[in-house]
């Protein structure tokens, strides 16, 4: 009996020793939970470095991740082909199957939905760039993606296709590999950095399944109001259109016959001769046509609106042939095939509250010139 008891004690001590020796990304028992978000605290090659040599990319995180998690979240442009990932504690090493190209700028991006072993995610998409030559590309394009209802497109993925003479036909854009791909932040804002100088066709999609590609029929897509976007352009705006025909609030004229109303007025700064300004609530959409004034701006007013909360937007209507448009003409989201840019538009960034016998003034909208 004593021998058996001694053996059990030894086994218990050994088990406790082995348990204590295992790596764990958890605080000591009884301590506060570590709520620090997942972060990349080191990368090699270093961000914006040039003359990068070797054929290995290294990342160090502040928490533990698995190779499978990292493999599903990592994207490199231009493509480096097949690669292996090795995890050693909080350190990750990526080894491409073939040598990196010389004099090439590479951009490594991590999906903001990457999770560590305890479910903590990155606070925003992570991106780092380096060059295997003496110069690193420095082109920038930034902007924002919103949903049809003007809320931030939190799952937006933005695809940039370089302008090539052989790619004049745009019907195959969605089957062509993009030159650059980036994820928007939770606010819908995005920024391409370290891209080659030039012009790009740019699309935005609602990446519902977080697979870093467009899934036709189940994800929304949006086009900008520019056929080609040059590097250096700031404030590019996308509005995602629905997968199917959406039920829109009823469109009514801008005036009512009741006295229990309020008003909204403001100025629009845009190009063109006419604008359609829209004040939308959850139940109705009120529109009016504004003409360019002598000072080159557009003044608009909704004199009689039912009390409520409104989103105010404006767009430059297309295909009107210089004639004053009908106020019922809807915003055109554009098309892929044949390629047609969306109608230029802008919106007031906050909801506007309308109260009885009150006027909400200076609700001004800027539509960026093309």
Residue 7 token pair = 């053996």
* Topology of domain 139-239, CATH: Immunoglobulin-like (2.60.40)
**For range 187-212, the mean pLDDT:** 92
What is the rounded distance in angstroms from the CA atom of residue 108 to the CA atom of residue 86?
16
Which 3 state secondary structure label does DSSP give 82? Answer: coil
Could you tell me if 123 and 115 are in contact, meaning their C-beta atoms sit under 8 angstroms apart? Answer: no
What is the rounded distance in angstroms from the CA atom of residue 205 to the CA atom of residue 188?
11
Calculate the alpha carbon distances from 265 to 149, 288, 300 in Å: 21, 11, 6
Could you tell me if 262 and 293 are in contact, meaning their C-beta atoms sit under 8 angstroms apart? Answer: no
The H or E element containing residue 19 is: helix 2-21
What is the rounded distance in angstroms from the CA atom of residue 123 to the CA atom of residue 114?
10
Q: Maximum CA pair distance of the chain?
A: 105
Q: 250-366 has which CATH code?
A: 2.60.40.1120
What is the rounded distance in angstroms from the CA atom of residue 55 to the CA atom of residue 154?
34
Smallest Cα–Cα separation from 311: which of 185, 147, 157?
A: 147
Q: Where are the domains of the chain?
A: 40-131, 139-239, 250-366
**For range 12-37, the mean pLDDT:** 50
Q: What is the pLDDT of residue 31?
A: 57
Q: 139-239 with 250-366: one CATH topology?
A: yes
Beta partners for residue 269, in sequence order? 366
Smallest Cα–Cα separation from 201: which of 340, 15, 54?
A: 340
Which 3 state secondary structure label does DSSP give 67? Answer: helix
Q: State yes or no: cis peptide before 288, omega within 30 of 0.
A: no
Pairing state between β 359-360 and 262-269: parallel
Q: What is the pLDDT of residue 250?
A: 53
What would the pLDDT profile of 155-191 be if each residue is shown by its tens digit?
A: 899 999 998 755 545 456 777 888 999 999 999 999 9
Average pLDDT of the chain, as a whole number: 85
Residue 82 token pair = 């097949």
Secondary structure in 3-state letters for 212-248? CCCCCCCCCEEECCCCCEECCCCCEEEECECCCCCCC
What would the pLDDT profile of 309-321 be if each residue is shown by its tens digit?
A: 999 999 999 888 8
Q: pTM here?
A: 0.84
CATH architecture of 40-131: Sandwich (2.60)
Burial 118-134 (b: 16+ CB within 10 A, else e): eebebeebbbbbbbbee
pLDDT greater at residue 318 or residue 239: 239
Q: What is the pLDDT of residue 11?
A: 37
Beta strands in 97-188 (DSSP E): 105-110, 126-131, 139-146, 156-162, 180-183
On the question of pLDDT at 52 being above 60, the answer is: yes
What would the pLDDT profile of 317-370 be if each residue is shown by its tens digit?
A: 988 887 899 998 999 999 888 888 999 999 999 999 999 999 999 999 999 887
Ramachandran assignment for 313, one of left (phi > 0), alpha (psi -120 to 50 degrees), beta (any other): beta
Q: Which letter does DSSP use for residue 293 in this model?
A: -
Residue 29 token pair = 């028992």
What would the pLDDT profile of 276-312 be if each residue is shown by its tens digit?
A: 999 999 889 999 999 998 888 999 999 999 999 999 9
Could you tell me if 346 and 270 are in contact, meaning their C-beta atoms sit under 8 angstroms apart? Answer: yes
What is the rounded distance in angstroms from the CA atom of residue 77 to the CA atom of residue 246?
35
Name the phi and psi angles at 8, rounded to 5: -65, -40
Smallest Cα–Cα separation from 142: which of 187, 186, 77, 192?
A: 192
What is the rounded distance in angstroms from the CA atom of residue 109 to the CA atom of residue 184?
12
């Amino acid at each position: 009996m004593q021998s058996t008891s001694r053996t059990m004690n030894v086994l218990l001590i050994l088990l406790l020793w082995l348990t204590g020796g295992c790596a764990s990304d958890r605080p000591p028992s009884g301590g506060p939970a570590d709520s620090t978000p997942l972060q990349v605290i080191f990368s090699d090659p270093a961000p914006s470095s040039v003359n990068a040599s070797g054929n290995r990319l290294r990342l160090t995180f502040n928490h533990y991740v698995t190779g499978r998690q990292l493999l599903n979240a990592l994207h490199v442009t231009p493509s480096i082909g097949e690669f292996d990932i090795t995890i050693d504690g909080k350190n990750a090493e990526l080894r491409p199957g073939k040598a990196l190209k010389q004099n090439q700028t590479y951009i490594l991006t991590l999906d903001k939905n990457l999770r560590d072993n305890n479910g903590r995610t990155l606070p925003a998409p992570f991106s780092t760039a380096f060059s295997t030559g003496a110069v690193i590309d420095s082109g920038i394009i930034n902007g924002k993606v919103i949903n049809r209802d003007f809320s931030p497109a939190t799952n937006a993925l933005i695809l940039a296709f370089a302008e090539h003479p052989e790619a004049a036909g745009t019907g195959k854009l969605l089957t062509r590999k993009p030159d650059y791909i980036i994820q928007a932040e939770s606010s819908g804002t995005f920024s391409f950095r370290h891209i080659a100088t030039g012009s790009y066709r740019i699309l935005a999609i609602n990446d519902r399944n977080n697979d870093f590609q467009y899934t036709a029929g189940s994800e929304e897509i949006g086009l900008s109001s520019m056929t080609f976007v040059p590097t250096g352009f700031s404030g590019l705006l996308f509005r995602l259109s629905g997968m199917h025909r959406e039920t829109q609030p009823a469109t009514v004229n801008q005036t009512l016959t009741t006295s229990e109303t309020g008003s909204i007025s403001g100025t629009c700064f845009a190009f063109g001769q006419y604008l359609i300004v829209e004040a939308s609530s959850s139940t109705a959409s009120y529109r009016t046509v504004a003409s360019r004034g002598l000072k080159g701006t557009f003044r608009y007013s909704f004199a009689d609106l039912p009390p409520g909360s409104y989103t105010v937007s404006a767009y430059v209507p297309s295909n009107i042939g210089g004639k004053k448009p009908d106020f019922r003409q809807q915003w055109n989201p554009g098309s892929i095939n044949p390629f047609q840019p969306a109608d230029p538009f802008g919106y007031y960034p906050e909801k506007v509250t309308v109260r009885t016998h009150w006027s909400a003034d200076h609700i001004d909208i800027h539509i960026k010139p093309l």
